[in-house]
Structure 1
């Protein structure tokens, strides 16, 4: 590899997620550091996002993510970053310049200057990475402290002192609720979105919410999961919240305020406003899980992505005394990252490449990534000998099946059985529970 190519790659490694996203013309929200949007590679509505503060990107549909601009560009363009060609193409994208000609001749002076610059770039990259790591660690600890504060301020769901809306929500969504102390309810939990005139966080809404802890090994609280509740908004029974997009701001529209009528359907379709998620996570979720009912000392664990599905399945089972029920929070935390070589072409879904040619969507495969960190997915206690994994039948089938197979492979241990339970096609367990009344 020529010095020109080495320097080209090092220059690309220095490009931030934000700089690359602008070059790639990805969508930025008007405020905040998290920017969800349809994945340029896997489609979906908000399955892809990048974070300009944490220097991370993630695709929930593809079950893949990373912390550098090169990997983000490779995923968005369907490039194989493990190949020389794919790596250089991804570098070319984030730098917005052509790949150098390896055959060009350099003088001794130019070569010496290039080597010096390459070494300086490497050292600077290392220093920047260390600074980012320190900043991220500080940010993560502050977020965990905020999460613990939210949990502490909420009341145990089963308590007579808890706002009844939490139990009513689970009754509507799951036909019942667990008689356990893990889940909590807050009467007025703030929903932060956007910034005020001084650049501080802006409270868009405050209302009742179910608060669930994320726990790591040792049952330490590392974060929390918040689900806002509105029993006047079936079938999900969560409030309708909207935000003004960057495109809407450019068109001269004003921020949506809670209590206003919902934006016009045409404005939502045109991307002037967006419907905001009514579930959020604070602190850390990576490697943790959400306890729903039972004791983690149990030898049988049962869980899937969301609290509602785990609760509905527990209700259907009658909350078995030998089981611990949990939720992973999302599919990526349930299954962990995939080995890149296990990626495969979706048998049906296709998308146009940069030249407009229809190509199959690539799916994160069923093989767990080699040498991954212990907290790359939720933890499962070593004593568990039966792990029941709950799949979502209303998610894209092929991608979900691959992720569930990856979860089973990741959590496999000698003498541990791991059945994967699927609901009816097009359903999740929560919807099945409501429609069957069981």
Structure 2
């Protein structure tokens, strides 16, 4: 097989958009617009895997991996090691939906020259498209950041606002709230979901919300994290929202509107409607973090996944003056991607492969990816000499433990202490704080 044939085969695969690759992998398109969350075909879970057809990206929170091309997505979904040539070519074959060129293939001189010419053209086309995507993504990212600033900046600080629901929410979830101005509240924050026939977004709901900023290392606002609040819905105190899926629309059902009765359990089980998350991020979380209390100049940092856990732990230790309390947007934001070679089989969890044979679920390991970018995870100030990482005890234990170990390895520096603090098994710090506050 000529090297040009294989190189052209690979370049063709690199040109396959995420949307096309997802269809050839048999992934679902449950979202109404560009973002499509679902269980990871490799790691399992409920909504741990997602791909975005506008940004041309994919991400697996459970596996701690993601990327910008269909080859990597196919390799993750099909559990193929990209470091092995035959597995890499198998991933290319999947996204191209054609066979790998035969090893015994021979070409005449004219055919070889024609292939070389097409290879050069494909490379140039891929480079041009990559540059165009980068420009488009940068423009889209800045547009989203401006939207996040527009949401966050007009709002009042949670601790001093005349709107008490933010303090009530954290009081009930975390047994208190910080005496700081990072967290803010709004009475009518819009929840956008789906789009009209002409493509305009739909305002599904508008109501009380707590809004936290994402900040970059230069303390610039790059995004926001929104938590909608309903104090009548214990124990999470968040509203109940539903969206119509593509399958539901195809069946002739109408979109759910706030105030309607919840869809039946049968319709949800059939995938006609879906319960929507009541937390959203706008702008960028990439490389950022959520400040809760204190200042990033502190030498001691305390935080983990979730604003509520950070608040609960801060309340428990009395909001130390020498500490900066923060939250990561999610576990991947905290730990960053894993080195592929560190993946390991879960000791108990199994999933059926394409032939129905049960095989161990593969878990992203504790070793950080070698060539990752600085903003592939949250930033930590160089002056920090103690970084207390808060684990989540009600998430899958093995995957969480590997991610927390990876976060410690990623953020390690000479002389820096990085203890990992775990809540009670099957719980988290906010749940523990609420139970202690109510005496349950």
RMSD: 1.1
SS of match in other structure, 1:217: coil
**Which residue does 1:85 correspond to in 2?**
86
Q: 1:371: Cα distance to partner?
A: 2.6
**Which residue does 2:413 correspond to in 1?**
413
Whole-Å Cα distance in 2 between the matches of residues 304 and 422 of structure 1?
Answer: 11
**Which residue does 1:264 correspond to in 2?**
264
Moved over 6 A (4+): none
**Which residue does 1:6 correspond to in 2?**
7
Q: 1:359: Cα distance to partner?
A: 1.6
**Which residue does 1:36 correspond to in 2?**
37
Q: Is 1:95 paired with 2:96?
A: yes
SS of match in other structure, 2:153: helix
Q: TM-score, normalised by structure 1?
A: 0.98
Q: Work out whether residues 214 and 225 of structure 1, in 8 Å CA contact, stay in contact via their aligned partners in 2.
A: yes
Q: Is 1:424 paired with 2:424?
A: yes
Q: 1:415: Cα distance to partner?
A: 1.0
1:325-353 C-alpha deviation (Å, 9 max, x unpaired): 00011000100111111111111111122
Structure 2 portions without partners, runs of 5+ = none
Structure 1 portions without partners, runs of 5+ = none
Q: 1:30: Cα distance to partner?
A: 5.1
**Which residue does 1:188 correspond to in 2?**
188
Whole-Å Cα distance in 2 between the matches of residues 197 and 64 of structure 1?
Answer: 34
Q: Structure 1's 348 and 30: CA in aligned 2 closer, same or farther, altered over 3 A?
A: closer
Write the mapping of 1:366-377 to structure 2, written as runs, cut at 5 A. 366-377=366-377
Q: Is 1:178 paired with 2:157?
A: no
Q: Structure 1's 160 and 36: CA in aligned 2 closer, same or farther, altered over 3 A?
A: closer
Q: Is 1:287 paired with 2:290?
A: no
Q: Work out whether residues 30 and 244 of structure 1, in 8 Å CA contact, stay in contact via their aligned partners in 2.
A: no
Q: TM-score, normalised by structure 2?
A: 0.98
**Which residue does 2:363 correspond to in 1?**
363
Write the mapping of 1:88-167 to structure 2, written as runs, cut at 5 A. 88-161=89-162, 163-167=163-167
SS of match in other structure, 1:153: coil
SS of match in other structure, 2:5: helix
Whole-Å Cα distance in 1 between the matches of residues 360 and 407 of structure 2?
Answer: 24
Whole-Å Cα distance in 2 between the matches of residues 160 and 39 of structure 1?
Answer: 41
Whole-Å Cα distance in 1 between the matches of residues 126 and 173 of structure 2?
Answer: 49
**Which residue does 1:397 correspond to in 2?**
397
Q: Is 1:312 paired with 2:306?
A: no
**Which residue does 1:276 correspond to in 2?**
276
Whole-Å Cα distance in 2 between the matches of residues 254 and 234 of structure 1?
Answer: 29
